[in-house]
Amino acid sequence: MKEPNSEVDALTRKVIGAAINVHRELGPGYLESVYESALCTELELQYINFANQYPVQVLYKGRFVGESHLDFFD
C-alpha cells in the first residue's frame, strides 16, 4: 500500500491531534453531538478547512436510494 504524501500526513496528524485535544478537555460521557461541536471548534482554531454534516446522495446498484450526511468532509 502506498504511503500518503507529506501534506496528507501532516493534515492527518493535525486532525488526530485536534480530536485528542477534545477528548482530553471533555473526557468521556457526552453525546456525540457535543464532541462533534467541540471538534468543529478545535478544527477552526487550528485553521483546518472542513465541511460539517456534508450532504451526500446514497446509491445502491447505480440507483438513488436516499441521502445521508458525512460528519466531516474536505
Report percent pLDDT > 90 for the chain.
84
Among 69, 22, 74, smallest CA distance to 45 is for: 22
CA geometry: angle 64, 72, 11, nearest 5 deg? 130
Could you tell me if residue 60 is inside a domain?
Answer: yes
Predicted local distance difference test score (pLDDT) of residue 1: 67
pLDDT (tens digit, 9 = 90+) per residue, 13-72? 999 999 999 999 999 999 999 999 999 999 999 999 999 999 999 999 999 999 999 999
Could you tell me if residue 23 is inside a domain?
Answer: yes
Return the biggest CA–CA distance within the chain.
43
Predicted local distance difference test score (pLDDT) of residue 48: 95
**Structural domains counted in the chain:** 1
Could you tell me if residue 39 is inside a domain?
Answer: yes
Domain that holds residue 27: 6-73
On whether the CB atoms of residues 63 and 43 are closer than 8 A, the answer is: no
Question: Beta-strand (E) ranges in 1-74?
Answer: 51-60, 63-73
Could you tell me if residue 15 is inside a domain?
Answer: yes
Could you tell me if residue 45 is inside a domain?
Answer: yes
Could you tell me if residue 65 is inside a domain?
Answer: yes
